[in-house]
């Protein structure tokens, strides 16, 4: 199944403005597959807010123009609405944030109560991403999520009632033993809610997590690569039929028609198009071309650095030309926009069609990509193996 490309030319081009990411490292309980940096209760919220304010003040000296803000985690919806409003205020004070900026908050369906979502909306959040993961009870239990299907349905309705016009849903598929029929019925249940955006992630089991230990001990078996590919292609086909544009390996945007175009995540586009972004909070990553750097993934050490007036970076790097070619190919082949061949040639001196003509023809023959109008486009099957293709083509 080819990704739907027909409406992509109508999309706004990737913005050169900066994206702002705030990592909120708190969760009520650790999910069984997760290795993101997050802390179980009790949460030192005031220490965290002090650190975020200090970090924003330090970075804000750059006076960058920004047009997206993303509060991710962890579980940002654990923060009181006043704390979210405070963070947004500080960001507005330190950066030139576009009046039409996309401001997203990730919410866990098990943590949204009462008028909290309306307060987030009033604070300036205009896009909500709900970590639903599944609408099947046994799947949520296996993943160790804190919510059940009914809470997910209630959270979605509450998001609409709170005035969110853009609501996205995250789903996970490819659990050990999950059949295509089971996954498709889960996907149907999510579609019935009417989301504007769907992120469908193949379950990855990180080593050292409870599921990782089960896997290592042979108590679990990961899904076979062919099964995963079949589920991925079924997902792409079902969502294309449902009016969603498959614009990145795991991401699908409802085609709103008219000038609106697909309801893509403008913030996440920054990561895939090489645009600059700045991250705040423990473990957050930043990219100010050509340099990328990342924060200490530990709240205590991150805060100690900030209290002594230092940037809380744990490390950084500048990519050499070969790494930049590899990255441009990998990122481009993950998206339905593909790779701009002239940009690659003029920007990085890599004439792909001259250097790798044989490999391009071979992958095109295998239905993984195609060249059209000066771009290299992946098919849906090609997106799935974007990393391998990028290595072969770089
Ligand atoms: S809610 Fe998200 S960040 Fe927190 S433990 Fe679960 S998967 Fe990880």
| Residue whose pair of structure tokens reads 């990592």 in the numeric block | 23
Strand, helix or coil for residue 219: coil
- Helix ranges (H only) for 287-394 are 299-307, 321-334, 341-348, 352-355, 357-365, 380-384, 386-393
CB under 8 Å to 321, separation ≥6 — which residues? 348, 349
pLDDT at 133: 98
Residue 15 beta carbon below 6 angstroms from any ligand 1 atom: no
pTM: 0.94
Measured by CA distance, the residue closest to atom 5 of ligand 1 is 30
Pocket test for ligand 1, best of 23, 40, 73 (most atoms within 8 A of CB): 73
pLDDT at 295: 98
Pocket test for ligand 1, best of 27, 151, 210, 211 (most atoms within 8 A of CB): 27
Instruction: Sketch out the chain's domains with CATH numbers.
Output: 8-271 (3.80.30.20), 321-393 (1.10.10.920)
Q: How far is the CA of 92 from the centre of ligand 1 (A)?
A: 28
Nearest Cα neighbor of 331 from 246, 389, 279 is 389
Residue 73 beta carbon below 6 angstroms from any ligand 1 atom: yes
Q: Is the Cβ–Cβ distance between 4 and 114 less than 8 Å?
A: no
- Residues of the chain short of pLDDT 50, as ranges, are 1-12
DSSP per residue, 106-156: EE-GGG--TTHHHHHHHHT--EEEEEEE-S-HHHHHHHT-S--HHHHHHHH
Measured by CA distance, the residue closest to atom 2 of ligand 1 is 74
């Amino acid at each position: 199944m080819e990704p739907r490309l027909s409406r992509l030319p109508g999309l706004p081009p990737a913005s050169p403005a900066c994206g702002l990411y705030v990592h909120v490292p708190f969760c009520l309980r650790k999910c069984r597959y997760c290795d993101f940096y997050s802390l179980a209760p009790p949460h030192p919220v005031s220490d965290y807010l002090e650190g975020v304010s200090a970090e924003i003040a330090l970075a804000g000296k750059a006076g960058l123009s920004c047009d997206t803000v993303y509060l991710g985690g962890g579980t940002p919806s654990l923060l009181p609405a006043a704390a979210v409003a405070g963070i947004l205020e500080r960001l507005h004070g330190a950066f030139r944030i576009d009046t039409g900026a996309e401001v997203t908050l990730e919410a866990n369906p098990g943590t949204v109560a009462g008028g909290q979502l309306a307060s987030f909306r009033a604070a300036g959040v205009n896009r909500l991403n709900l970590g639903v993961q599944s609408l099947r009870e046994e799947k949520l239990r296996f993943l160790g999520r804190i919510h059940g299907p009914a809470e997910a349905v209630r959270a979605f309705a509450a998001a609409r009632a709170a005035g969110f016009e853009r609501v996205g849903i995250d789903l996970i598929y490819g659990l050990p033993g999950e059949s295509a029929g089971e996954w498709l019925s889960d996907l149907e249940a999510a579609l019935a809610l009417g989301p504007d955006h769907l992120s469908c992630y193949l379950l990855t089991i990180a080593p050292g997590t409870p599921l990782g230990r089960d896997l290592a001990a042979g108590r679990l078996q990961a899904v076979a690569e062919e099964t995963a590919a079949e589920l991925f292609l079924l997902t792409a086909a079902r969502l294309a039929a449902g009016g969603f544009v498959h614009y990145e390996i795991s991401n699908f945007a409802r085609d709103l028609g008219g000038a609106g175009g697909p309801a893509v995540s403008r913030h996440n586009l920054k990561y895939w198009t090489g645009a600059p972004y700045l991250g705040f909070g423990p473990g957050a990553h930043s990219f100010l071309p050509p340099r990328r750097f990342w924060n200490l993934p530990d709240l205590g050490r991150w805060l100690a650095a900030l209290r002594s007036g230092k940037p809380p970076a744990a490390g950084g790097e500048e990519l050499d030309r070969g790494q930049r070619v590899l990255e441009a190919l990998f990122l481009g082949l993950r998206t339905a926009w593909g790779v701009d061949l002239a940009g690659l040639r003029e920007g990085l001196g890599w004439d792909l069609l001259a250097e790798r003509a044989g490999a391009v023809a071979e992958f095109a023959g295998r239905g993984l990509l195609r060249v059209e109008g000066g771009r290299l486009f992946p098919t849906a099957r090609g997106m799935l193996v974007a990393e391998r293709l990028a290595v072969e083509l770089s």
